[in-house]
Structure formats: C-alpha cells, structure tokens
Amino acid sequence: MSYPEGLKYSKEHEWVKVDGKVATIGITSHAQDALGDIVYVEMPPVGKELAAMQEFGVVESVKSVSSLFCPVSGKVAERNAALEKRPELVNSSPYENGWIIKVEMSDPADLNKLLSAADYQKTLPPVSKH
Amino acid sequence: MLKRTPLFEKHVQLGAKMVPFGGWEMPVSYPAGIIAEHLAVRSSAGLFDIGHMGLIQIRNTKYEIRNNDGALELIQRLATNNASKLEINQCQYSVLCNENGGVIDDILVYRFADHYMIIANASNADRVLSHLKASAGGIDVSRWQDRCALSIQGPQAVGTVEKVLSVSLSTLKRNHVLVSNGMIFSRTGYTGEDGIELVVEKAAAPKIWDLFINANVQPCGLGARDTLRLEAGLPLYGHEYDEETTPLEAGYGWAVKFDKGEFLGKQALEKEKAEGLRKRLVGVELDGREIPRQGYEIFDVQGAKLGVVTSGTFSPSLKKPIALAYLTPHPPYTSPIFISIRGEKRPGKIVDKAFYKRVK
C-alpha cells in the first residue's frame, strides 16, 4: 500500500491533491483495501456547496457501505463520471483514475488541518502478522 | 477470545483478511477479493474453511441397541424433517424449532452406520448441543472434537476432489455420503453449485488444504460464501432465521413434515399454517446500483410499509443489487416496490429467491 508524498490526508481516509484553488479528493489505498471490492460510488451534484468534513457521498463495497467526508469546504466542480460504470477504479487506482470529486476550495486554511503522508500512516493500525 | 480452526495459519500465509464471525476468527476474503472468489466458484471451483461449523455426534450408549433407534427418536422429537427416511450414508436439511415454531438453528442431519451427526451453524453450536442434551436421556450427544470440515464448491469441484484425494465420486448422489480413507465426502454445499463438503481429522486438515491450494483451487472466504448463498436464495441464521421466525415463513415448509409424529414446535407451526403466515421471505432486485442492506425498509406504491430487508449485496454473477426480505402477509405483492436507502425510495421488483440457478 502506498501513500504518495505531496497529498494531504484526513483521519477519515480521504486524500486531497491541491492544484491552485481546486482540490481533487479520493480515498486512500488503506481505505479501498479495507473496504474490499467497490461496486458503487455515490457522488454529489456539480455545484453543491460542501462544508469541511461534511458527508458528500457513500462508497459501497460488496460487504458494507461507508460515508465519504469532504476534507475541505467549497463547491463541487467535477465528479469522476468514469466511476459510474467502473467503480472498481477506486480499488485499482485509488490516487489516479479512482479520484472521486474535485472541489473549488472556499477556504484554503482547511488544508492546515490535514495530515502529511507520514503522519497519516501513523494513524493506521500496524500491519498485523499475527 | 476468538476460536481458530486448524487452518488459521494457512489463511494468514495466503494473505487473508481475518474477521470475527460467530465466535471464530475466520477469513472474510483473500487477496483475489470477494468478487473474484465468487466467480471462481461459479466458473470452476473454490475452497472454503468451514471448520467453524459445529459437528455434533448422536449415538446410543448401549451398544446392543441396534439401528440407533434412540438417537433417531431424539432427532425426530426435535427436528422438523423426517429423519426416519434417511438411509445409511445419507443426509437431509432440517430445522430445530422452539415450541413457538421459532428457529433455534437450521442443520444438516447425517445418518451413518452406527451413529447420527448434526452440522450446526458456528454461532449456534453450543446452543444446539445443550438443546439436544437437555432431551437426550441415555443418548450420547457430543462434539466431534477431533474433526473439522472443508468445502469445495463449483462445477469442477467433484472432479477436483476425485483427482486431489484419489477417490471416485461420480456415482455419489446429492445429499449422499461416501466414507473413505477416514474422510467423509458429502455431496452438499451452501453456494448453489455442485460440490463436496469434507469432514476430516483436524490434524490432517492443513495438509489436505494444501493439496487443493497446490491444485490451483481458489481459496474463498466468508464474504464470497455470503454472496454465493444469497444469489442461491439460501437463508443464513441471524438474517433470514431467528427465534421469532418460523421455517414456513422462510419458505422451508418442505422440510417440515407434519405427518411424521410429534416434534417440538409442531403445534405452533400447524396453527400458523392453518391461520396464514405472519410474514413471507421474498427476493428483491433493484434497478440502480445502491445496495439494500439488512434492516432497510420496503414500501408499496402508496407508501405503506411492506417489510424489511434481511440480507443484501451486489450480485457478482448478475451484476446488480439483490436482497432477501420479509414482507407482510398480504399478497398480491405488485412491483414496483420501493426500498428506503439513505432516505431515498429506490424502485425494485419482487423476484424468485433463487436469483442464480446453476445450469445442470
């Protein structure tokens, strides 16, 4: 499992990639592995205003359903239409083709509350070897 | 403290995700993932550790009593199906009910030459054991301590078992058993496919497991076991069955033999049959991709509540959401129905519980 440098992470297992005012958001390698085979991603409509850490959708795996939280406040600028037909991209490519939404940030200070790759990994349970 | 089967180390070595289930630490999936494991069983074969299932032996303590009459009589008094129809080396699906007709467990009853065996669900095994013992009198009811079960399921399962364990099974009929080389080969399963459930010595289980892994049989966890049984419309205790639910409501009236004599729960079940079912298990299919989960409510077109989902998943074979649900007993149920998912009512339709039927 990988946690690219340069991304920001939430304790709720979302990642954020910042490009100017636009934040791309997805779920981490750890999250997709814990969920297992993902079969549906519910995304908000473009234009919807989101507060920081507001629930913005769900991701359904075969076994369970989990809420998605938006780490930054702003307006939904784009959603990953590819996930409508191929939700499994979140499993196979969590940081690239499996991104979920793009948000036009209203308060870049939200980013200060997020974790670096190293600090995020410290929040994860140790890899169990039994 | 969770219990572990003799195959625990094998699962860890294979990279399985281990989860608690019915008091046991069991693999939910392997690195292939639930969908790939599921499809392996539908297209070729899959290997399951079912060492958590409770194996209970029932035998007469007085050696001179022939034919296990006492053991049979005990089973006849507590289980709904007619065990007197069993030949030696045959098994049947049956249900243990309380006096209200509610389900204590659903089981397989096996008849062997000198004893009977019951396979109980992992989470109910202690309960079933004490339930049987309470009525046992002089009959010996005990855990089969040194044995455990594995399952190989899929269209290529029987041929694979024949090859891997050098045994001939082609004439073995469904719900029949071959006892060979100290192993029990039972042509049964919980996936909607042909297959073999194997009862082996615990000490031999890891070696037998490896023989199948080395023959490239896909190991499958509880996740795939659940999606496979759900596609086949098979009930799971804690979802479709509990002590407030009768086998008639779950659609297992064929396993309740009213003409066999007295058994626990018979009066209540006869009454329900005469007065009409309180609820009925149905299959539900959804149009979208949202998955109906246990506890989600179901409504009719007018918005009246019809019932509740007991199990739901994304069907890997049909590639759409499916669910089992109990509906109130007022047919006709006319599609569309509506399932409340996160506050939105999503349209669906009522279908045959056997979502997937194998091509024979």
Tell me: the pLDDT tens digits for B302-354? 899 999 999 999 999 999 999 999 998 766 677 799 999 999 999 999 999 99
Structure confidence by residue, pLDDT tens digits, A18-37: 999 999 999 999 999 999 99
- CB atoms A37 and B34 under 8 Å: yes
Supply B208's token pair: 């037998």
SS3 content of chain B, % helix, strand, coil (to 5): 25, 35, 40
CA distance A21 to chain B (A): 31
B-chain residues within 8 Å CB-CB of A60? 289-291, 314
- CB atoms A63 and B34 under 8 Å: yes
What residue ranges define each of the domains in chain A, with the CATH number in brackets?
8-110 (2.40.50.100)
What value does the mean pLDDT of chain A take? 94
Measure CB to CB from residue A36 to each of B33, B289, B342 and give the nearest one. B33
Buried b (16+ CB within 10 A) or exposed e, B94-128: bbbbeeebbbbbbbbbbbbeeebbbbbbbbbbeeb
Give the pLDDT confidence score for residue B288 in this predicted structure: 87
- CA–CA distance, B10 with B24 (Å, rounded to integer): 15
Give the pLDDT confidence score for residue B84 in this predicted structure: 96
Structure confidence by residue, pLDDT tens digits, B259-312: 999 999 999 999 999 999 999 999 999 988 999 999 999 999 889 999 999 999
- CA–CA distance, A130 with B175 (Å, rounded to integer): 38
pLDDT band at A130 (very low <50, low <70, confident <90, very high): very low
CB B196 within 8 A of CB B185: yes
DSSP string for chain A: ----TT-EE-TTSEEEEEETTEEEEEE-HHHHHHH-SEEEEE-PPTT-EE-TTEEEEEEEESS-EEEEEESS-EEEEEE-THHHH-TTHHHH-TTTTT--EEEEES-GGGGGGSBPHHHHHHHSPPPP--
Give the pLDDT confidence score for residue B253 in this predicted structure: 97
Q: Is A39 on the interface with B (CB under 8 A)?
A: yes
Rounded mean pLDDT, B97-125: 97
Structure confidence by residue, pLDDT tens digits, A37-80: 999 999 999 999 999 999 999 999 998 999 999 999 999 999 99
Instruction: Tell me: pLDDT of B358 over 90.
Output: no
Q: Is A58 on the interface with B (CB under 8 A)?
A: yes
The predicted complex's ipTM stands at 0.87
B-chain residues within 8 Å CB-CB of A63? 28, 34, 223, 226, 313
Structure confidence by residue, pLDDT tens digits, B196-238: 999 999 999 999 999 999 999 999 999 999 999 999 999 999 9
Measure CB to CB from residue B35 to each of A62, A128, A130 and give the nearest one. A62
Structure confidence by residue, pLDDT tens digits, B65-102: 555 678 999 999 999 999 999 999 999 999 999 999 99
Give the pLDDT confidence score for residue B108 in this predicted structure: 98
Structure confidence by residue, pLDDT tens digits, B228-253: 999 999 999 999 999 999 999 999 99
